[in-house]
Structures are given as structure tokens and as C-alpha cells.
Amino acid sequence: MQRADYDMPFLLQYENVAWYEEGKVRILDRRIYPTEIIFVECHTHQEVAQAITDMVTQSAGPYTAAGMGMALAAYEVKDLPIDEQKDYLDKAAHTIGYARPTTANRMTQITENCANVGKLALDHGTSAIEAIFNTTIDSLNRRYTIMDKVGCTLLKQLPKKGSVLTQCFGETIIGTLFRAAKKEGYELEVYCAETRPYFQGARLTASCVADLGFSTTVVTDNMIAYIMENKGIDVFTSAADTIARDGHIANKIGTNQIAILAQHYEVPYYVTGIPDTDKFGREDIVIEERDPQQVLEYRGIKNTLPSVKGIYPSFDITPPSRISGIVTDKGLYSPYDLATYFTHEQTRFY
């Protein structure tokens, strides 16, 4: 089986996202990469769920960690009666699936599928661990292959030689877009918004783009107007954690304000991802609020006086009026016409 992570940067190779082996799951700690390359080891599926909650991995990383965590859940109860194993898998699917509320609809698709695959294996007298692990690898190959189509479609919206601004870390789309750009000989200057408070743009996106050989510049989140006005940004692009049918999208906090600036400076903004079947409008999007301490300090270093308070909404919502197009596995759509996306047969993504 050819793996779909060929020619990907370090961060996006399967073993370096999350990996089950011999009763544990290793997850690359993206909170500190690339300063340090450390893998968090989880010995229970609850520890995997907590790692996802704590953003040890993020973007699409939790989807991989979820599948590997389900394989670990199967390992935890491999010596119990079959009925108890099945019940445990169902409970683990819920625990891992709801580790982060905004993406629970996508995560539960993964964990519930893994539970069903594991239960079917048990009915056939085969290993639930192996079955869940293999379906997770299949899911990775499927997702990377689908996002390769998205990346190639987005590439057509970029100039052969120009400047691109990114926001946060779009994981697979970053890898597939710039892998395709490298293959097609594009000469791109890539500006990565640093993305506070975890600096995913600076640490993760910039690392992947630089690994693939493109000129890469990190800018702070409050420099966007300056670079749009003075550096000639051709395209702004981001992934989305949620894409509702009415064209509203949720992505890392700060995305909406960049979209406002892009609209002002007439820079097209392309969102990448797969629309959510169960999100019909803005009112269906749940915004996760995280521990404000993550705003008040970084890596244990306090930035404020003890009396100062913080707030950390993890995502914000960008309306369709600020989006030039939504790039999907089926092509480029107007954010006002996503209903058309659902008139065609749906691709299994997770």
C-alpha cells in the first residue's frame, strides 16, 4: 500500500502526527515544536483524549490521534469478555470524540467508525486492535488523497510567482498545496501569521513550508494590514474547523479580522475544507473557550501582573461576505452556493 504522506514535511508524516504501537500512543507535542521534538506517550485512551483537549496536537492531528486512541482502547480491554470490550469501545468513542466541542461532529465520525470496526472484528474472532489501527491508516490515506485534490484546486487560484498569506496551521492542506506547488515549479513567497496564543503559524505552518523549500516569512498577527498594503499579498488562505451550509466558517481566532483586512485591501480569501453535513448555519457552530491562562503566559512565563484577566475563544466565525471561495474536494464553490455541494454523492472523508 502506497502511503499518501510521500514527500511531506516532517510534521505531516503519519508516525510524526500520532502513532499506536505496543500498548501506547505517541503524539508529537506541537505546543513546543520545533524548539524541541518531543513525543507525548499515552497509555490509556483517556490520556489521548486529554492530549487532544490540551492541544498537544491540533488542526487535523486530533483526527489521527483519535483513531490511534481507539486502537489503544481496544488494547486496554483485549483480555475481557467480548461484550465488555464492545461496551468499552463505545464509551471510548464518546470520550475521545468530545475532547474538543467545536469539532466533536467530525471527531465522533472517526471514533464511532473505529468502534464499529473493532466490534465487527471481535464478531469475526480477529483482533480489534489491528482492525482499528488499519482503518485509521486507511482514513489517513483517504484524507490526504482528498486534500491533495483540494490543494491542487487551490493552487490554480495562486499566481505562478507571487505572495501567499496563511493563518494558523491547516495541516494536510498546507502539505498538499505546497507539495503540489513545488512539483509544478511555483515560486511563492509565503507569509505566515504567527497565530497567538500558541504560535501555530510560526512554529508549524512556517516549518512545513520552509521544509518544502519555499521562501517563508513569519509576521505577528498585528502586522497584517502593513504587509497587505506594502508587500503585495496576492492571496490569503486558511483551512476551516467548521464550514456551515450557509457559508459561515469557524477557524482559529483571528481569522475573521484577517478576512476583514483582505476584503479592504481587495485580497481574495480562499477557505479550504469539506462542508459539514450537520452544520446548517452560524447558530450551529459552537465556539470553544479555553483556559485564559494560555493568553496570560506562554511556556510557563507570565506576561502580565497577577491581577490581569484574559479571555481565549479558540475560534471565530467569518461570514460568507468576506470569503472569495470555498475550495473542496469537488472544486471551488461560492460560499453562498454550498447547498450545491450536497447535491452530489458525498465523499467519505474521515
Cα–Cα distance for residue pair 191/201, rounded to 1 Å: 9
- Is 241 designated active site? yes
Q: Are 237 and 164 in contact (CB under 8 A)?
A: yes
Cα–Cα distance for residue pair 226/2, rounded to 1 Å: 44
Q: Are 93 and 108 in contact (CB under 8 A)?
A: yes
265's grid cell: 485591501
Q: Are 51 and 27 in contact (CB under 8 A)?
A: yes
Cα–Cα distance for residue pair 257/19, rounded to 1 Å: 36
Count CB atoms within 10 A of the CB of residue 258: 25
- Which listed residue (148, 241, 276, 329) is catalytic? 241
Q: Are 154 and 270 in contact (CB under 8 A)?
A: yes
Nearest CA-CA partner of 97 in 63, 146, 144: 63
Residue 300 three-state SS: coil
* Cis amide linkage into residue 306, ω under 30° from 0: no
Q: Which residues are catalytic?
A: 241
